[in-house]
Structure 1
C-alpha cells in the first residue's frame, strides 16, 4: 500500500513527519510526501500524489490561521480536496488544525499531533480494515479532542 502525505510550510507543526511516523507504526506502507506552501495548494498536491505517484490514499495536512480570511481559504481548500477526491475516486483525509482551536502554542502543538496521529490510523483502517470503521459508525469519534460518544435518547 502506498500512502500520500501532503503538508504545508505554513503549518506551525511538522504534521507531515508526525503522519509518516504514525503510518509506519501501524502498517508496512510506502509513503510519498509532497510539501506545498499553504492549504490552497493541497488539492493539486493530493491529486498528483494519487495520479503521478500512485498513492492508494492521501492525507492532506494543514494549519489554517484563525482570521476570517484564513477560514475562507481553509473552506476553499476543503472544496478543492473534495473535488480532487471525486476526480480521482480516491479518499483524501483532510487533517486541518485551525490555530484558533487552541489557547496557546503548547495546546496547538498537542492538538496537531493528536489529530494527525488519529487520522493516520483512520487512513490505514480505511484502506486495510474498513469493517473496523463500520463497527465504529455512530459512536461519536473525534480526532484530537475527546470522543463525543453516541447520542442517547
Structure 2
C-alpha cells in the first residue's frame, strides 16, 4: 500500500485537497491518504516534510492559493523554495499545486481552475506512483494543469 500525503492551508479560498483526494480515490486503489492542514502557505514545507518523515508518505501534494499582492507572491515563492528543500532533504517528491488568486478575475472561473488543477495534479501523482511509463510518454507534450495544454513544438 502506498501512502499519499495531502497538505493544504486554511488561507486558500477553495478546498483543492478534497478534489485531489476524490480524484485519487476514483483512480487508484491500495492507497492510504494522510491529510495535514496548516494555516498558511509558508507552513507547507515543514508539514510536507513531517508527512514524509513521520507518517512515511511515499509522495506528497502541497496545495496553496496565494493572494494577488506582492507580499503574497513573495510568500508563495518562499514556500516553493521550502518545498524544493524538503524534497531534497527527504528524497521524496512533493507536487506543488498552487493557484494564484489573480490567475482568474471571475471567482467562478478561479474555482474551476483550482478544481481542475487539483484533479490534474492528482492524475500526475497516480502516474508517478503507478504508471511511470505513461508519464515518460507525456514528456515534452506541453501539458498544463488547470489550463488548456499548449502541445509540443
Question: Do the two structures share a fold, i.e. TM-score over 0.5?
Answer: yes
Aligned to 2:94: 92
Aligned to 2:9: 8
Runs of 4+ in 1 over 2 A off after TM superposition: none
Q: How many residues align?
A: 151
What displacement does 1:113 show? 0.2
What displacement does 1:71 show? 0.5
- Equivalent residue of 2:7, what SS? strand
Of residues 38, 41, 47 in structure 2, which corresponds to 1:39? 41
Of residues 102, 112, 120 in structure 1, which corresponds to 2:122? 120
Distance (Å, rounded) in 1 between the aligned partners of 2:132 and 2:68: 34
Aligned to 2:148: 146
- Equivalent residue of 1:64, what SS? coil
Of residues 51, 64, 67 in structure 2, which corresponds to 1:65? 67
Q: 1:73-93 deviations in whole A, cap 9, x for unaligned?
A: 000000000000000000000
Distance (Å, rounded) in 1 between the aligned partners of 2:129 and 2:17: 19
TM-score normalised to structure 2 length:
0.97
- Equivalent residue of 2:67, what SS? coil
What displacement does 1:44 show? 0.4
Distance (Å, rounded) in 2 between the aligned partners of 1:135 and 1:16: 27
Structure 1 residue runs of 5 or longer lacking an equivalent are: none
